[in-house]
Structure 1
Amino acid sequence: MNQVDDLAQLLDDNLVEEYLRENPSFFTKYPHLLNYMEVSQQQEGTVSLVQRQQRMMREKIVALEDEITSLMAIAAENQALYKKFAALFFDLLNCDDLIAINDKLNQHFISELGLTHVSFKLFDQHVPAMLYVNRSELDNLLVQRLGRGYHYFGRINQQEQQLLFDHPEPGSVALIALGKSGELGLLAISSEDANHFQPEMDNLLLMQLTRLIASLVQRLLIK
């Protein structure tokens, strides 16, 4: 038995794997060895290690290209959404009364964003009748859905829908309290898509919107 056979008996697959992991430049030093390496594949039979590496690299490149394409599509959607919210912010700043705010909210969310219903409810008795709601009527909803928080994204039951919308229907909703502690009212937006509003979704634009609305409401109530 020669020295090579003796060495082969001392080595096992794990030792070889460990050595190659610790010495990733091994095949760089001895590139000619790659021509002797073979990898067995069920569909294509035996291919060289170089061919296998090339295929794996191509697959990684395709996966990265798909990921980049997906990220670019998401970025384009976010940009379009940002522009629509920016237009809504500008329109709200030019509103002279609460009815106008309500109209703009309905216009943008339903016509521009394709959502189903908007419910803009305020707790102050001095607001227009169509916007006023006694807070006690929403107490259970506020406790169950918002708790100590300021927003809720997800589904609500039919009874809760009837409290908020003229024509309730299954789907998902965004509920956001107005005011620092929810003392001014509630903005509710519904979608017929049950998965449109989800707890983990980004709430930055909607929270900025409701802060603007709360500021406008306070300013108009003082007049």
Structure 2
Amino acid sequence: MTDTAIDGDIKPTTVASYLRRHPEFLTEYPELANQLVLPSANGPAASLAVHQLRTLREKNAELETRLRELSSIAGDNETLMRRVHGLMLALLGAADIEETVRSVVRRLTDDFKSERVRLVFFGDLAGLPDEPWLLREPRGASGLPEFASFLAHGDPVAGRLAPDKLHRLFGDAAPDVRSAALMRIGPDALLAIGSGDSNRFHPGMGTLFLDMISTTVGSAIERARKAA
């Protein structure tokens, strides 16, 4: 709209400025709401009332979508919580270190649908089974220079790992692992879960359940070690 004067000396910019300073204007003159016309990028021009109704419907649709997303997340979290609880119960019933680590791998594989699980132990802990998913590093953490940064801070990480880390954990199967989660298990071990899905584990995901798993497994291994 040009700034040509309307009704004498009144200009459109003057009207616009007045309405900005008095947003309650239409409450005093509600009949104008049905007469004002607003342009639309998605269709024909509409009255202010129709425009407000359309905007309200769009906002309601956005809220409904967000509510469905939150409900889905809540359902997923409840499922994960039940699985962590099942893992905890299984580990409480383990008689020794071998049964403990076997229960960890079995639960992660069956309940959490983990494709590849690796437990890496530092030193030479007695009673561990000889299995492809269990790795030993007799030199301790110093024998895993690829994971020095991770072991230093100890927080769970999720995402795509560098090729040297993947090869150290998964060997010849490393090319099939597109994403992974790493958890520090107490002072003497780490737990890795690998997936062929590049979106299964990513940096933007929360680590609450990874923390819970690492704490649960670490406590169970420490208890089994002391009982040996």
- Structure-1-length-normalised TM-score: 0.83
Partner of residue 176 from structure 1, selected from 174, 178, 183: 183
The 3 A distance-change label for structure 1 pair 194 and 33 is same
Within the alignment, does 1:211 sit opposite 2:210 as a pair?
no
Report the equivalent of 1:98.
Answer: 97
> How many pairs align?
214
Whether the aligned pair in 1 keeps the contact of 2:116 and 2:193 (CA below 8 Å) is: yes
Whether the aligned pair in 2 keeps the contact of 1:119 and 1:164 (CA below 8 Å) is: yes
1:35-94 CA distance string (max 9 Å, x none): 220112355433211111111111111111111111111111111111111111111111
Q: Aligned letter for 2:206?
A: D
Partner of residue 191 from structure 2, selected from 181, 187, 193: 187
Whether the aligned pair in 2 keeps the contact of 1:138 and 1:163 (CA below 8 Å) is: no
Partner of residue 204 from structure 2, selected from 184, 200, 213: 200
Whether the aligned pair in 2 keeps the contact of 1:153 and 1:172 (CA below 8 Å) is: yes
Within the alignment, does 1:163 sit opposite 2:168 as a pair?
yes
What value does the CA root-mean-square deviation take over the aligned residues? 2.4
1:163-196 CA distance string (max 9 Å, x none): 22353323111111122xxx21111111111222
Whether the aligned pair in 2 keeps the contact of 1:154 and 1:197 (CA below 8 Å) is: yes
Partner of residue 156 from structure 2, selected from 141, 144, 151: 151
- Structure-2-length-normalised TM-score: 0.82
- What is the CA–CA distance in structure 2 between the aligned matches of 1:147 and 1:47, rounded to whole Å? 62
What fraction of aligned residue pairs are identical, expressed as a percent?
A: 25
- What is the CA–CA distance in structure 2 between the aligned matches of 1:10 and 1:160, rounded to whole Å? 67
Alignment of 1:78-89 (within 5 A): 78-89=77-88
Partner of residue 15 from structure 1, selected from 17, 20, 23: 17
Any idea what SS the aligned residue of 1:8 has? coil
Any idea what SS the aligned residue of 1:197 has? coil
Specify every segment of 5 or more residues in structure 1 that has no aligned partner in the other structure, as ranges: none
The 3 A distance-change label for structure 1 pair 48 and 164 is same
Any idea what SS the aligned residue of 2:45 has? strand
How far 1:144 moved relative to its partner? 4.6
Within the alignment, does 1:133 sit opposite 2:137 as a pair?
yes
Specify every segment of 5 or more residues in structure 2 that has no aligned partner in the other structure, as ranges: 1-5
- What is the CA–CA distance in structure 1 between the aligned matches of 2:63 and 2:112, rounded to whole Å? 31
The 3 A distance-change label for structure 1 pair 192 and 92 is same
